Structure 1
Amino acid sequence: MKNKKIIFLVLIVLTLGFIIYDSTSIPGVDDLEGNFKEVAVYRNENNTGPIQRIYAVTIEGRAWDEMEKYGNLMPYTKYGTTTVYFFDASKPAPATLVPGEPNFDPTFNAGCLAVYSKDQNGEVSFKKSPFSAPL
């Protein structure tokens, strides 16, 4: 009987240890290469309809795969939209974002490296050089 209690306690401790390890080892944006920095965020106030999220993020370099991973890690609400604009960290980036098109002052278009978007159906698109010829 005493052995069963010890085995049960060991199993509980191991299970709790695994749960803690698993929940703290989830990858996040800080784990990505490129030194991402969020410089502007917009989220609509409409809590009765689709949620619209727009982000402006700077990145050092052109790590396309990392940009797409970053976009996949951003919050998304079913039937809402999430858009992430990636800007060259060495160039100016918008400090404010607005709903509708365009989401920022067009003077920043030259510094936009890519745009990630996830639409109302959960479909993802990633476009390099959205405002100029491909890099």
Structure 2
Amino acid sequence: MRNRKQSIFIIVIVVLIIGWMLKDTLSQGGIEDLKGGFKEVASYRNENNTGPVQRIYAVTVKDTADAQLIDYGNLKPHNKYGNTKVYYFLEGASVPSLLSPGEINFDAKYNSSCFALYEKSAMSNFGLVKNPFK
């Protein structure tokens, strides 16, 4: 009788733990849950899978006051062999539709519209620069 009660208790505990883990896994937020009204306009990823992978994004933001810019950048794909850049533009401003690799990622005429740049390096160091072209 005592072994049966212990078995039932252990089963209930295991089921509760599994249920809690599933709930936590399925209820994690994503980009659509962030404040700011983000919309990805353009993206670039080089075809090089053996060397440094470069990911570049142009994103518009509705509300810059409450925008979670760093959190958005952290949710973008990244690996240890490359870097990720996210250029932020105010919604309604001129935004590049074509991005390219290298140091200069879009035409200079869009520089004045870019209000922030998030960059994550190969060593997973990240930073946010406000007004990167001024």
Q: Distance in 2 between matches of 1:106 and 1:17?
A: 52
State TM-score, norm by structure 2: 0.89
Measured on the aligned residues, the alpha-carbon RMSD in Å equals 1.6
Consecutive unaligned residues in structure 1, runs of 5 or more: none
Match of 1:31 in 2: 33
Q: How many residues get paired?
A: 132
Equivalent pair of 2:95/2:113 in contact (CA under 8 Å): yes
Decide which of 102, 105, 113 is 1:103's aligned counterpart. Answer: 105
Stretches (4+) displaced over 6 A: none
Please say which structure displays the higher CA radius of gyration: 2
Decide which of 2, 8, 11 is 1:9's aligned counterpart. Answer: 11
Query: Pairwise mapping of residues 105-120 of structure 1 onto structure 2 (< 5 A)?
Result: 105-120=107-122
Equivalent pair of 2:45/2:55 in contact (CA under 8 Å): yes
Q: Which moved more, 1:60-69 or 1:46-55?
A: 60-69
Matched, 1:131 2:114: no
Q: Distance in 1 between matches of 2:83 and 2:61?
A: 22
Q: Distance in 2 between matches of 1:15 and 1:51?
A: 38
State TM-score, norm by structure 1: 0.88
